Amino acid sequence: MGFLPVFLALSSQPVVLVGSGSQALAKLHLLRAAGAQVRWFSTSDSDDERLPLATHYAGDIRVALGEPGDSDIETALAVVSAAGNEIDTRIAARARRLNVPVNVVDQLDLSTFIFPAIVNRGDVVVAIGTAGASPVLARRLRERIEAILPARVGELAALMKRHRDKIVAVRRRWPGFSARRFWERMIDGPVGAAALAGRSLDAEAALLREIEHARIPEKTAGAVHLVSAGPGDADLLTLRALQVLQNADVVFYDELVTPEILDRSRRDAELVFVGKRRGEPGVAREEINRRLTAAAHAGLQVVRLSGGDRFEADGEDTERLRQAGVATVVIPGVATAQHMAAGRGIEMAA
């Protein structure tokens, strides 16, 4: 990951935009859509071009002719330049010298940050980047995400934002209350369904009822999901495997599981290595099952992630966990043999 995606609050400091023409105007439109204060230094001497565009947007836009001074740059949150080669090079050098982030449109080597392709759903924004390698690929990915992302998902996020403080108050009243689990139930249940269907009043009323009755739930039993990671390609994880990884509290994994597959786990899930490393003793199978059992009895959602397709052929772990009173689910992966056959264009017999 060559660039870290971040979301900047644009209301505190201005953004300096340098240039005129279609590229500069496209960035002006994007910055204003995000609510930025813009200090636009146009390189065109035509007032007829600049001023109507500046007044077209609501908010604070100041227009000047020529290049910004050092004081303009050093007080900016960021600088965006689309003025042409010589000016862009100077602006980039000055911004770097003043330690201000700079983007030169279509000049990756002059930029310290880049603009992603954006899917905008109000309070929900998806940013897609390719580290500047292929804006066309980023746009294609954006088109696919646009097609599957619910149109009203931003309204659902806004509803949750309005009542977030109430959940903070619930957590203070019930220290063992899990806000994450609460919001998962809201998103996946009737509240989320009503919001995404456009029934905003119903969604808000249902959410308020849930908040009013929110408290520490009775202790629920955890479960263990035995997930086969298959041949090691993260793109070959099944949809069910991805779902349980995203819902896991703790993931126990072995040496055959690749970092790319681990990256599909929920970000705040605990990752526990239980494999074998060169020169070190491995964790015994009995000890692994003991840890899985303890975590499940503590009410956690547990994933035992193993490379290959071991859990499909071996029912010993499943039986031991069930004998210990643990709800256990086996999630098969893509079999290594099937993967190899598919890669060679071979049809597997049933």
Token pair belonging to 91: 């602006």
CA–CA distance, 68 with 311 (Å, rounded to integer): 64
Token pair belonging to 206: 């249902």
Q: How many residues does the chain have?
A: 350
Burial of 201 from C-beta contacts in 10 A (0-12 / 13-18 / 19+): exposed
**Helix residue spans in the chain (DSSP H):** 22-33, 47-56, 70-74, 85-97, 135-148, 153-162, 164-173, 179-188, 190-196, 200-212, 239-247, 259-262, 285-297, 310-313, 316-323, 336-343
Token pair belonging to 98: 């003043």
Residue type, 108: L
The pair phi, psi for residue 103, each rounded to 5°, is -125, 125
Map tokens 């007080």 to a residue: 75
Nearest CA to 148 among 130, 166, 126, 165?
126
Active site positions, annotated: 254, 276
DSSP states of 195-262: HHTT-HHHHHHHHHHHHHT--PPPP---EEEEEE-BTS-GGG--HHHHHHHHH-SEEEE-TTS-HHHH
3-state secondary structure at position 307: coil
Map tokens 């609050």 to a residue: 9
Nearest CA to 186 among 220, 213, 146, 223?
213
According to DSSP, residue 308 is labeled B
Residue 171 CB coordination number (10 Å): 14
